Amino acid sequence: MKKILCVVLCLAGFYAFSQEKITAIKAGKLFDSEKGIFLENQVILIKDNIITEVGTTLKIPANAQVIDLSKRTVLPGLIDCHTHITSQPENYMEDIFRKSPIDVAITSHIYAKRTLEAGFTTCRDVGANEYVDVALRNAINAGKIDGPRLYVAGFFIGSTGSHGDLTGFSPYVHFQQASGVADGVDEVRKMVRKNIKYGADLIKFGATAGVLTEEESVGAPQYSQEEMNAIVAEAHLWGKKVAAHAHGAEGINMAVKAGVASIEHGSFLNDEGISLMKEKGTYLVADIYNDDYILSEYSKMGVPQKIIEKEKLVGRIQRENFQKAAKAGVKIAFGTDSGVYPHGDNAKQFFYMVKYGLTPVQAIQAATINAADLIGVKDKVGSISSGKLADIVAVDGDPQQDITVIEKKLIFVMKDGKVYKNQ
């Protein structure tokens, strides 16, 4: 009986071993995002979905599936820290009045797939109505649909009349759906708890006014210091990081003092804000591509001229202040505000990051190891190294010489050990 049991166990062990999926990737150049250098002629060994070894002299197992990228540049899977992946604008009035959260939910998978195929294997989604982002994340994690690994914020938390509220319409216009509008210390704490209750991985709130809504200001603070402090303190109680939508200098400084992990946009960032962000280790996540798209396309969608004028005011100065922050050494993570422009075009921002102050290496680090650090998943993604998830992309060309190859010549995408694109 003991012999039979031993044979059964041995066969079971052999069967389990034989079912292991081994993949070997030959990389012509490989970007080491932690050191900021490109390595030549590397081999990446992957067992199931985990990178086991990386090196030049590794022996490739006989049973390995070999992917030959020996004439390509291989990068860690890209990360976008500021997306609204569940939707994108088509017509200003119809988007507001003729579409329900059901319309958004039923098409969100399209944008998720486009984003993944563009090389972005991980994203933060920083605000979606009716917890569509939570449902999308869960469906992706369950393997039901294709998309990036998502970390989601649930409802954008904003004060009455703020960038997080519907402004510019009659007081008799009401929508029978939930919102993230909250006022006062007790209400904002409750809204943080509600978001976390229903599945938020992080908290996003509006520290200042914004551009693509109809409130009068672009950058005035829209919460008090006490309210901002309460949002961050409550989120930290639950182990969650906080992202602050912030354009104006005063609101940026207030949010940094409150302890946010990142400033989103940062358009009117001043010297005090730069100093505070360096002191606190706060990340800047600046969407410096989409100005071009907004000014080119939004009037065609019926967006009010008032909003277009606000964008004209913000776009140029945001890029100038991004350059100042980069030069000063503020920590920068890649974030594009995708959904403001069409999903899948995320990599267009690399060109602007290099144009306005970063080296190509720094720009790629912003979208890999830095972004992973901001999200809090540097132990899982952000670099191609032993023990991390097999999130790997490849481009035809050298991004050190031409950063736009990431946008124009991305030919391979692997997420979690599975190949989603291979040209």
Q: What's the pLDDT tens digit per position in 55-114?
A: 998 999 999 999 999 999 999 999 999 999 999 999 998 998 899 999 999 999 999 999
Burial class of residue 59 in the structure, from the number of CB atoms within 10 Å of its CB (0-12 exposed, 13-18 middle, 19+ buried) = exposed
Q: Report the candidate in 152, 150, 151, 148 with the shortest Cα–Cα distance to residue 413.
A: 148
How many degrees, rounded to 5, is the angle at CA 351 between CA 150 and CA 318?
80
Report pLDDT for 19.
67
- Residue 15 or residue 118, greater confidence: 118
Q: What's the pLDDT tens digit per position in 349-387?
A: 999 999 999 999 999 999 999 999 999 999 999 999 999
State the fold for domain 21-77+383-422.
Urease, subunit C; domain 1 (2.30.40)
- The DSSP code sequence of 34-70 is TTTEEEEEEEEEEETTEEEEEESSPPPPTTPEEEEEE
Q: What's the pLDDT tens digit per position in 335-354?
A: 999 999 999 999 999 999 99
- Residue 8 or residue 194, greater confidence: 194
Region 205-221 average pLDDT: 92
Q: What's the pLDDT tens digit per position in 140-196?
A: 999 999 999 999 999 999 999 999 888 888 888 878 788 999 999 999 999 999 999
Domains of the chain, by residue range, sit at: 21-77+383-422, 78-375
Partnered with residue 25 across adjacent β-strands are: 44, 67
Calculate Rg over the CA atoms of the chain. 23
Report pLDDT for 214.
87
Handedness of CA 257, 258, 264, 268 (dihedral sign): negative
Report pLDDT for 12.
45
317 φ/ψ angles, rounded to the nearest 5 degrees: -70, -30
Q: What's the pLDDT tens digit per position in 242-255?
A: 999 999 999 999 99
Mean pLDDT across the chain: 94
Report pLDDT for 247.
97
What lies within 8 Å, CB to CB, of 246 at 6+ separation is: 207, 208, 219, 252, 255, 263, 264, 265, 266
**Confidence bin at 16 (pLDDT 50/70/90):** very low
Report pLDDT for 7.
43
Domain 78-375 has CATH 3.20.20.140: yes
The pair of structure tokens assigned to 144 is: 């039901």
- What CA–CA distance (Å, rounded) separates 316 from 288? 9
Q: Percentage of residues in the chain with pLDDT exceeding 90?
A: 87
- What CA–CA distance (Å, rounded) separates 348 from 139? 27
Partnered with residue 69 across adjacent β-strands are: 27
CA 47 to chain centre: 27
